[in-house]
Amino acid sequence: MDTIEMKSLETVMMPSNLLVPMLNDLMTKDGLTGRPEVSRNDIARLHAVSRGEVIALERAEFVRYYSVCTRSLEQSECHHISSSANRQKALEAFLSYIVTAETLEDACQLAKDFNDLLQERGYSIATGTSGKKAFFCLDLQPMVAHATPSLISATLLFYYNILSWLTASPLDLVAVDLACPQPSGGDPSLTTLGVTVHYHEPVTRLVFDASNLARKVQRSHRDLAGNIDLIAYDPLVFARGLTPMSARVRSWLSECGLKETLLPDSAGAARHFDISLSTLSRRLRQEHTSFLAVKAECQQELARVMLREGTLGMVEIARRLGFADVRSFRRAFIKWTGILPSEFRENSLRAKKKE
């Protein structure tokens, strides 16, 4: 992907009211006092934001303030939270760890495993499913006895953005449940999610479509470069579009394949993303690829999956992957792997028997 550096985002404006809930909570605790990274000018500016005198902030400035606010809230509630430097290292290690996942389900489990290892981190993570719903649950009680609603919202939003960013597609949220009272005026950051927010719930959690768990992770370590602070401290990071068009197309095509539907053509993709065909082609060219190239990658991956499963015949596999006939599929597979699809299936069956 084209790495988005902080310096290139200075002209991107962020609505400053997204900071207000945290600032209001901090003002009652005097939580910004004595922080070395916060100057007198910063405090004066943040007071102006809390009073509604500043409508928008440049993105780099906003991200810095959002980072300071979340860290300050944590440290004001729980004194054993690590220093900012150690917290940043933990954040980098966390993102580097979960980006290795293959699917969203794997990523949720890795997030839980990583958090369990960090005893100093304090809060706990749980995951689960019920019917067609999946749950990503947070319990901040081990970390703070009385977490403020703004800190709970910011933490939950952090994980929503992470999980959406990993798969290059937003979680299909059903609801957001918060184990805290509703603040006066609500939290504008949560309204960006476009779902009902329930307060006074027994558990703080993201509730989303369980089918999302099968989504493939589209990110790698190289995508983290220059973007870690944006991922962690910009509540609109996913909506703002750190997502390349190629990754969005790849994620969607993979999802179509998993749903056992025919892989769409470029016109279908343009309709799905609500853009013109020429716009789709231009954006992919800017990322040094094309729809056919992205589709070929997905066809190859899905072909391997279908052949390993061994439940579909060659005719059906060719049809689902969008090939005119088995001969066309066979030629493409030989080009990808150097062997016939039938050989690949036989090799996979032999490997399974050895296991």
Q: Which pLDDT belongs to residue 6?
A: 35
Q: Which residue has the higher pLDDT, 34 or 42?
A: 42
| 141 exposure class (CB count in 10 Å sphere: 0-12, 13-18, 19+) | middle
279 has a pLDDT exceeding 60 = yes
Partners of 137 in beta bridges: 126, 205
Q: Which pLDDT belongs to residue 151?
A: 87
Domain regions of the chain by residue span: 6-240, 245-354
**Out of 1-5, 140-144, 161-165, which region has the weakest mean confidence (pLDDT)?**
1-5
Banded pLDDT at 31 (limits 50, 70, 90):
low
Banded pLDDT at 35 (limits 50, 70, 90):
confident
CATH number of 245-354: 1.10.10.60
Percent of the chain with pLDDT over 90: 34
**Out of 24-28, 56-60, 107-111, 141-145, which region has the weakest mean confidence (pLDDT)?**
141-145
Q: Which residue has the higher pLDDT, 148 or 336?
A: 336
pLDDT digits (tens, 9 = 90+) for 171-187: 889 999 998 888 877 78
d(CA 246, CA 131): 32
Give the residue-averaged pLDDT of 211-234.
Answer: 87
137 has a pLDDT exceeding 70 = yes
d(CA 157, CA 153): 6
**Out of 111-115, 258-262, 273-277, which region has the weakest mean confidence (pLDDT)?**
258-262
Give the residue-averaged pLDDT of 208-212.
Answer: 94
101 has a pLDDT exceeding 70 = yes
121 has a pLDDT exceeding 60 = no
Q: Where are the beta strands (DSSP E) in the chain?
A: 13-15, 56-58, 124-130, 133-139, 173-177, 197-198, 204-209
9 has a pLDDT exceeding 90 = no
Q: Check if the beta carbon of residue 223 is closer than 8 Å to that of residue 2.
A: no
* Nearby residues of 253 by Cβ (< 8 Å), 6 or more positions away: 263, 264, 269, 294, 295, 298
Q: Which helix (H) or strand (E) holds 25?
A: helix 20-29
Q: Which pLDDT belongs to residue 2?
A: 34
* Nearby residues of 278 by Cβ (< 8 Å), 6 or more positions away: none
d(CA 355, CA 348): 11
pLDDT digits (tens, 9 = 90+) for 305-325: 889 888 889 999 999 998 999
Q: Which pLDDT belongs to residue 348?
A: 86
Q: Which pLDDT belongs to residue 81?
A: 52
